[in-house]
Amino acid sequence: SRSLSDAEGHWVGLANFARYFQTPGLAQSFGNSLRVAAVSTVLAVALAFGYAYALTRTAMPAKGFFRAVAMLPLYAPTLALGIGLVYLFGNKGLVTTGFLGLGERLFGRPVGWDIHLYGATGIVLGELLYCFPQALVILVVAAGLADARLYEASQALRATSLRTFWTVTLPTLRYGLVSAFFVCFTLAFTDFGVAKVVGGNFNVLATDIYKQVIGQQNFSMGAAISILLLTSTVIAFILDRWVQRQQAATLTTRSVPYQPKPSPGVDLLATLYCSLIATAVLLVIGAVFLAAVVNIWPYNLQLTLRHFDFRAVGGGGAMAFWNSLRMSLYTAVVGAALTFASAYLIEKSRGLRPLRASIYFFSMIPVALPGLVIGLAYIFFFNPRQWQIAGLSVPNPFSFLYGTMGILVLANIVHFYTVSFMTATTALKQLDAEFEAVSASLRVPFYRTFWRITAPLCLPAILEIAIYYFVNAMVTVSAVIFLYSPTLKLASVAIVNMDDAGDTAAAAAMSALVILTSVGARLLYEVAVRQLNQRTQRWRARE
């Protein structure tokens, strides 16, 4: 409704959209967003396909290491990825200056490489890093569901490796490829962090919303741009759902799991391929940590920890980091509880089928909602003290949440709800309905069955949901950039403010803290799950 109103709230119809497309600088952003998202998506899916193929269809060594390195960008704010690119390919970057002139001294000629980072090139590289692990997760799962009988039949018919690839491998992966394409396109199209750091004068829709709302306080135009962003992601989501409905089962009860056989040549190529990509990821993440511990880049490379003293810079200082940590913990605990409870009521209850179907449908919607759109919508919903409805002023009972930790936690739960909900429903669907039937026949209350049977059996999934919420809440910026208050600043927002103020080293230091916290939380999760599985999942082991 705000996109159809002016600054005073008067109805103006499509005037905001018309003004947007009539402004050359703004209208170009839509095409820019489509172009960089498409290029980033194609590159990310193509590279992730080769990486997933190497992990699942070859016998190359160190698969665990390569998988862990590929996942590192998930634990970094997208702004950190942009900062890492700046220190590698910026005007004073390592690659641009030939490793700070070292190459010229060794070879007697300049060896630097200027890729003209700021603009479309930088955004594509940043989104490629951001989307690559997302696509890899999908494709690894898809590639792992292979029926060895098809490959045995192909070998028996003396089909060439190329023909086997086109007739067996690709058909079994096509739905995973399509899903990865739509997921990556949505992420790249709506991302704010990378474009904010390395976009330069190359505007995209996400940065336009930020400039209109934060820079010009033009909420109506920001709402109109949000609708354009939202429409594109919804279309991508609908197409993805339609394609997934066409999917047929690739594994049956007679299927034989595929076990890759050692092949020295293929395994060597797979190792080299994964090594190149893993090195690229480590270079960008490593550049962030290097920027955080170097005194004055590139003039004084003495190691120091002074950039971790945030008292000399703006953005909220160390308190912003602790606020983010607290917000992420609240999001993990509350989000996991609410998500699993909702999934349980939908999957295990038998009455009110239309209502359960409606709730399931609405649970799928957040995956198509960009974080910036959620943040802006929450301003419109929670900020007013009075709602104007049909000319009447109605008190807003939720306005007390505005500017509090509660609205930040709520925004994060909504933003990352769909994936968590699908994880919970998948775990619950694996439990036989006889658990509830037997409990009901013995007149055991449902809550006791839930606490004694359902929750312990689904504990790994619950913990996975919690760590998913925690990591994403820690690194996100788009969902909270419009909602934080001056007294409740966050680490990801502090990175934006520090970068705006030119305190890039401090922004890198804050990014390093966020990355270390996210990775540390994941490691603690792995240890905790292993210990809990020994206690609560012992029934799975066969004597």
For 193-251, how does the pLDDT look when each residue is reduced to its tens digit (9 = 90+)? 899 999 988 989 888 888 888 877 888 888 888 888 888 788 877 777 776 665 554 44
Determine whether 79 is exposed, middle or buried from the number of CB atoms within 10 Å of its CB (0-12, 13-18, 19+).
Answer: buried
Write down the pLDDT at residue 129. 95
- Would the pLDDT of 12 be above 70? yes
Contacts of 491 (CB under 8 A, 6+ apart): 316, 320, 321, 323, 324, 325, 474, 510, 513, 514
Share of the chain above pLDDT 70, in %: 85
Given a contact cutoff of 8 angstroms between Cβ atoms, the answer to whether 191 and 206 are in contact is yes
Range from 215-219, 252-256, 484-488, 505-509 carrying the lowest mean pLDDT: 252-256
3-class DSSP assignment, residue 52: helix
CA distances from 521 to 24, 330, 373, 472, 516 (A): 45, 14, 28, 12, 8
pLDDT of residue 218: 81
363 and 342 Cβ atoms separated by less than 8 Å: yes
Give me the chain's average pLDDT, please.
Answer: 83
Phi, psi of 74 (to 5 degrees): -65, -25
Identity of residue 363: S
- Token pair recorded at residue 175: 């739905």
Element (H, E) at 485: none
pTM of the model: 0.86
Which residues, at least 6 apart from 184, have a Cβ–Cβ distance to it below 8 Å? 40, 41, 44, 45, 131, 134, 135
User: Coil, strand, or helix at residue 101?
Assistant: coil
∠322-484-400 over CA atoms, to 5°?
110
**Mean pLDDT, residues 120-128:** 95
